[in-house]
Structure 1
Amino acid sequence: MLLNETAEQIRSMEIRGAGRIARSAVAALRDHAAGLDTSDTASFLRSMKEAADLLVATRPTAVSLPNAVQAVMRSLEGVKGVEEGRAAIKAASDSFILSSRHAVEWIGEIGARHISDGDVILTHCNSEAALSCILTAHREGKAIEVFATEVRPRNQGLLTIQALNDAGIPTNFIVDSAVRSYINDVDLVITGADAITVNGAVVNKIGTAQIALTAHEARTPMLVAAETYKFAPRTILGERIAIEERETAEVLDPAIAAGLPHVRVRNPAFDVTPGRYVDLIVTEIGAIPPAMAYMIIRDHLGWGIGEFHKAFEIDERIQE
């Protein structure tokens, strides 16, 4: 698929879900590198940097996207020729795509251990990782029931209930604002994440924070299922994750909006759930409390504060 086409599909949410976005982006980088018609190393590096910037700019909140792109682009460190660069990008891209797919399976196996026979589960949005936990528990023979939210305004909940229905799992489809009405019927909340900060705060689809607060009030445990590449290294430096605000038309018909000159439609795509409202974060390397998020960033992703200086040096070299 062409680079610009992939970027537009990510921007328009035709490609959605943090894992799918990340895999599509690195595949686009791999294909772009393979198709570049140049024998000049500097030109190759500049073109790859431009491609990376284009992809990262499409969705500012989904940390999996810049993490994936950076993991692939880091493979260009020290390359001395175009063919070496192409090979490095291909190897890094293929490795990321494979590990990303396996990560969802491993998260499902680990997450299913926290689901008991007879549990009623509430989930929000359409998370591969969260669904993997639920579907794995079902395949293990656990009798479970699910409440799935509608997920306004893009209705991603329709994708979730389709997957649950296809698996034969009894499912209740509810509007987002009905969560409080049913939380006392729920044993466990499982959501995904688009980003996790150094202090364990979870950035996920809008409405997650309200669900977490409701679950906390009801003393219902909340699990977040997320691949390790969704942890946000730059939050070590105090950088905030940008919350994407999408177009008015997703919420209100433009013809109606045009007749309301004093009304401003706000459409944030994500919100932030403080770590104190999350009981466990389930990753492919194990389940951790939110307070251990820094250890994932430092020990698994390899991002201590010192690593940022190295990354900036690589970035400066590519831009030269």
Structure 2
Amino acid sequence: MSVTDTAEKIKSMEVRGAGRIARAAAEALRDHAASVRSSDVAAFRQEMERAAATLVATRPTAVSLPNAVHIVMAGLEHASTTEEAREGLIHRAARFIQSSQHAVEKISGFGARHIRDGDTILTHCNSEVALGCIIEAHRSGKKIEVFATEVRPRNQGLITIRTLNDAGIKTNFIVDSAVRSYIHDVDLVIVGADAVTVNGAVVNKIGTSQVAHTAAEARVSVLVAAETYKFAPQTIMGDLIRIEEREANEVLADEIARTLPNVTVRNPAFDVTPAEYIDLIVTEQGAIPPQMAYIIIREYLGWGIEEFHESIGIGANHDE
């Protein structure tokens, strides 16, 4: 799929979920690198940087996207020929995609260990890794039940309940505002993440913070499933994660909105859950308390980018 098509599908949420977005961006850059026929390495680099910028601009909150692009693009400036640059980028994209898929498998296994036989789990939004934990627990023979939220206004919960249904897991489908009504029937909350900050706060689908606050009030543990490339190195320097606000017509049809001139529709796509409402963050490197987010960033991202490259099989011999 072309960079333009991929960017449009990410922006319109046809491709959704932080991990899927990251892999789609890596695939688009890989395919674009293969199609660019310039023999001038500077022109090739410039074209790839343009493509990367197009992809990164689509979803400002999902940190997985710029992190994936950064990993795939790393080393271009050291290439002396177009072929060297092309081969290096294609190699890094392939390794990132493979690493991302393996991360989902590892997190599913780690997360499933925190689910007990007989547990009732609540999940919000449609997280590949959060669902992976639940499905892996079910596959291991644990008898579990799930409460899944509707997830207004995009109704990602419909994807979640189809996935759970197909896996043979007993599931209750509830509107977002019913979480408090059922929280005392729940043993564990499992959600995904679009970004994890240096202080352990989690940026995820709007409504996550309310779920976590309700769980804390009811003394129900909250587990966040997140690959290491969803941690945000820029927050070390004090940068904030920009919360994407989407089109009003996702909430209120244009023809209705036109009849309400004094009404402004606000549609933030994400919110921030403070670290104190989170018990564990499960990554492919293991489960950590949110207060250890800095360690993940230091060792695998940001200042520790070389170590992160090594952890997914990208060594200096491939990049220089």
Which TM-score band (shorter chain)? over 0.9
Amino acid in structure 2 at the alignment position of 1:221: S
Instruction: Name 2:244's counterpart in structure 1.
Output: 244
What is the correspondence of 1:92-241 to structure 2 with a 5 Å cutoff? 92-241=92-241
How far does residue 76 in structure 1 lie from its aligned partner after superposition? 1.2
Match for residue 312 of structure 1? none
Shift, 1:201, TM fit: 0.3
Give the secondary structure class of the aligned counterpart of 2:10. Answer: helix
Distance across 1 between alignment mates of 2:255 and 2:297: 46
For residue 286 of structure 2, what is the amino acid of its counterpart?
G
Moved more, 262-271 or 31-40: 31-40
CA distance in structure 1 between the partners assigned to 2:78 and 2:300 by the alignment: 23
Q: Which residue does the alignment assign to 1:288?
A: 288
CA distance in 2, matches of 1:177, 1:77: 50
Q: Does structure 2 conserve the Cα–Cα contact (< 8 Å) formed by 1:246 and 1:269?
A: yes
TM-score between the two structures when normalised by the length of structure 1: 0.94
For 1:133-183, what per-residue CA distance to the aligned partner results, in whole angstroms no more than 9, with x for missing partners? Answer: 000000000000000000000000000000111111110000000000000
Contact 2:152 2:176 in 1 (8 A): yes
**1:304 Cα shift?**
5.3
Determine the structure 2 residue equivalent to 1:63: 63
Displacement of 1:305 in angstroms is 11
CA positional deviation for 1:298: 0.5
Query: CA separation of 1:305/1:41 partners in 2, compared to 1, >3 Å: closer, same or farther?
Result: closer
Amino acid at match of 2:237: L
Per the alignment, residue 318 of structure 2 pairs with none
Aligned to 1:26: 26
**Aligned to 1:168, what secondary structure does the other structure show?**
coil
2:97 and 2:304 map into 1 onto residues whose CA distance is 24
Q: Give, in whole Å, the separation in 2 of the partners of 1:20 and 1:84.
A: 28
Correspondences of 1:247-286 after superposition (within 5 Å):
247-286=247-286
Code of the aligned partner of 2:294: Y
Instruction: Output the amino acid matched with 1:213.
Output: H
Would you say 1:88 and 2:50 are equivalent positions? no
Secondary structure at 1:38's aligned position in 2? coil
Q: How far off is 1:301 after superposition?
A: 2.4
Residues 219-257 of structure 1: per-residue CA shift (max 9 Å, x gap): 000000000000000000000001000001100010000
**Structure 1: tracts of 5 or more residues without a match:** 308-320
Does the 8 Å contact 1:145/1:169 carry over to 2? yes
C-alpha distance in 2, partners of 1:215/1:55? Answer: 36
4+ long deviations beyond 4 Å? 304-307
Q: Are 1:236 and 1:305, in contact at CA under 8 Å, matched by a contact in 2?
A: no
* CA–CA separation in structure 2 for the residues paired with 1:201 and 1:131: 21
For residue 303 of structure 1, give the secondary structure of its aligned residue in structure 2: helix
Report whether the alignment pairs 1:7 with 2:7. Answer: yes
For normalisation by structure 2, the TM-score amounts to: 0.94
User: How far has the Cα of 1:299 moved from its partner?
Assistant: 1.1
Deviations along 1:76-125, whole A, 9 cap, x unmatched? 14110100000011000000000101110100000011000000000000
Distance 1:278 1:138, change over 3 A: same
- SS state of the match for residue 152, structure 2? coil
Quick check: 1:121–1:145 contact (8 Å CA) kept in 2?
A: yes
Q: Unmatched 5+ residue regions in structure 2?
A: 308-320
Q: Which secondary structure does the structure 1 equivalent of 2:252 belong to?
A: coil
Structure 1 partner of 2:313: none
> Distance in 2 between the 1:217 and 1:6 partners?
41
Q: Post-superposition shift, 1:302?
A: 5.2
Structure 2 residue 47 is matched with structure 1 residue 39: no
Contact 1:75 1:92 in 2 (8 A): no
Q: CA deviation at 1:3?
A: 1.0
Following TM superposition, by how much is the alpha carbon of 1:306 offset from its aligned partner in structure 2, in angstroms?
12
CA distance change for structure 1 residues 305 and 198 in 2, over 3 Å: closer, same or farther?
Answer: farther
| 8 Å contact from structure 2 (residues 299, 305) kept in 1 | no
Offset at 1:303? Answer: 2.1
How far does residue 295 in structure 1 lie from its aligned partner after superposition? 0.3
Using the aligned pairs only, state the percent identity: 70
